[in-house]
Structure 1
Amino acid sequence: MTVRTSSNFNHVSDFAVTIHNNDDETESEVQVARIDTAHGVTHFDKLFRPDEPKASFDGTICDAIDRLTDNWRRYAESYENNR
């Protein structure tokens, strides 16, 4: 998991929290799921389902970390099943 934030740690309004998976076939690291504030709105990129549109996410950076930490295994398994 990687966490990127803005430089203002007292008021985080710009962030990205990403789950990565090691792809044994390509020997590379791939992003599986990401919650970020890109494009001016907080949203959930379910990269393990590439045809699914971005989902709105109403939460803070801590909520994003919790969501991805709690569900990383399911997202990684979905990635493997949808390749």
Structure 2
Amino acid sequence: MSHQQLVSTESTALVESNIFTLVEVAQAEILEQLTYDEQCDRRQLELVAEQAFYQVGKALAQLRGRRLYRSTHKIFAAYCEAR
């Protein structure tokens, strides 16, 4: 079964305060049921990952905003590529 067969997406335009917002809804076929314990573990691990992404974003914003990359790189993009 191909990836396209497993996941299909559809887009729906919603009107909110006279602004059109494009909402993409992904529907995926359940491949294998998780046990209750596995579901709990998955949710906990997803929370850890979400928090990590948030912390990385905050750190990158500080590095860029304060230009703390300037001792080794002229621009922030070059700093990010090197790291």
Quick check: TM above 0.5? no
Asked which structure has the greater CA Rg, the reply is: 2
* TM-score between the two structures when normalised by the length of structure 1: 0.25
* TM-score between the two structures when normalised by the length of structure 2: 0.25
Higher helix share: 2
Larger relative contact order (Cα-Cα within 8 Å, sequence gap ≥ 6):
1
Higher strand share: 1
